[in-house]
Amino acid sequence: MDNQNRTPILEVKDLCKHFRINKKATLKAVDGVSFNIFEGETVGLVGESGCGKSTTGKCLVRLYEPTSGEVIYKGKDITKLKGEEKKAFCKDVQMIFQNPYSSLNPRMTVKEIVGEGIKVHNPGISDKELEEKVLGLLEKVGLNKDHMSRFSHEFSGGQRQRIGIARALAVDPKFIVCDEPISALDVSIQAQVLNMLKELQKEFGLTYLFVAHDLSVVKFISDRVIVMYLGTIVEYADAEELYANPMHPYTKVLLSSIPEADPDIAKNSQRLTVKGEIPSPINPKPCCRFAERCPNATEECFKTMPELKDLGNGHMIACHLYK
């Protein structure tokens, strides 16, 4: 996707989110992350559990206030929005949560869950208009009128996630953070939800940040992919480029872990592995976070943090091996 002459809908500049544990210890969940997202595209954000993916997503929708850095949405820093500007931002930017079992209020009916945001942003709406709007949204996600009066505990996991998607769509957003929206679902349901998200994107002109750890899923839905490791970005590029030509040692390990369906190919392919445990994100050393596990690490890797470099065609990498 050619983004050189386009203005990003979202700019993230040196974003940090640190959690103070005690006087001497700070957990650096997100530490100096920068990237852009352009209107109409899907950006995949991948990495191991605990790398800071979900924390990054929550900073973008202001569920977490950043420790430092900037998040610029349509030219405005979201941390400085107040009053009507903040309300407009909350309408434009929504989130689909990872766990459909804990993200829905068990005391509210489906109509109340989906309609809550509509009433906040359209205070003069009539009951009939609200019901028609909620019904239309439910039908978009594969549910029907009979589901409106039920409570969330009466639904399966896949149905609950559909309710969560309808809730996110209720206020006509422009940008949605999808925080591992299918990881808690059965495999048979995952493909249905993914296809539905792609169809909704085309119909409503949505922009997605798709957070996931399943690389095959990210390849299917994403235009560009960002790879995170221990709070930092190690590589990002167009999806086809990244999967065909991974450059960072960590990205290569991640991609080699994708299961191969063809047994003959799987038998002849070499699986890359790394030694050691993931270092703690508490008070990390000021060097490459992957250095302790990297088979190609040099002395420089243990001394300084590599900066993101453009290898051409927007393929960015943070690695001392590439000058």
How do the domains of the chain map onto residue ranges?
Answer: 10-103+175-184+205-317
Q: Are strands 207-211 and 224-229 parallel, antiparallel or unpaired?
A: unpaired
Q: Which fold has domain 10-103+175-184+205-317?
A: Rossmann fold (3.40.50)
Say what the pLDDT of residue 266 is. 56
> What Å distances lie between residue 21 and 24, 53, 264, 279, CA to CA?
8, 20, 49, 17
Amino acid at 18: H
CB 243 within 8 A of CB 266: no
Q: What is the DSSP string of 217-261?
A: HHHHH-SEEEEEETTEEEEEEEHHHHHHS--SHHHHHHHHTSPPS
Q: Which residues of 56-74 are buried (b: 16+ CB within 10 A; e: fewer)?
A: bbbbbbbebebbebebbbb
Amino acid at 252: K
Q: Please state the pTM of the whole predicted model.
A: 0.91
Q: What is the pLDDT along the chain (323 residues), one digit of tens a residue?
A: 555 557 899 999 999 999 999 988 999 999 999 999 999 999 999 998 889 999 999 999 999 999 999 999 999 999 899 989 999 999 999 999 988 888 899 999 999 999 999 998 988 889 999 999 999 999 999 899 999 999 999 998 889 999 999 999 999 999 999 998 888 788 888 888 899 999 999 999 999 999 998 888 898 899 999 999 999 999 999 999 999 999 999 999 888 877 666 666 656 666 677 777 788 889 888 899 998 888 888 899 999 999 999 988 889 999 998 87
The predicted-structure confidence for 24-68, as pLDDT tens digits, reads as follows 899 999 999 999 999 999 999 999 888 999 999 999 999 999 999
Amino acid at 139: E
The predicted-structure confidence for 148-195, as pLDDT tens digits, reads as follows 999 999 998 889 999 999 999 999 999 999 998 888 788 888 888 899
Q: What is the DSSP string of 161-219?
A: HHHHHHHHHTT--SEEEEESTTTTS-HHHHHHHHHHHHHHHHHHT-EEEEE-S-HHHHH
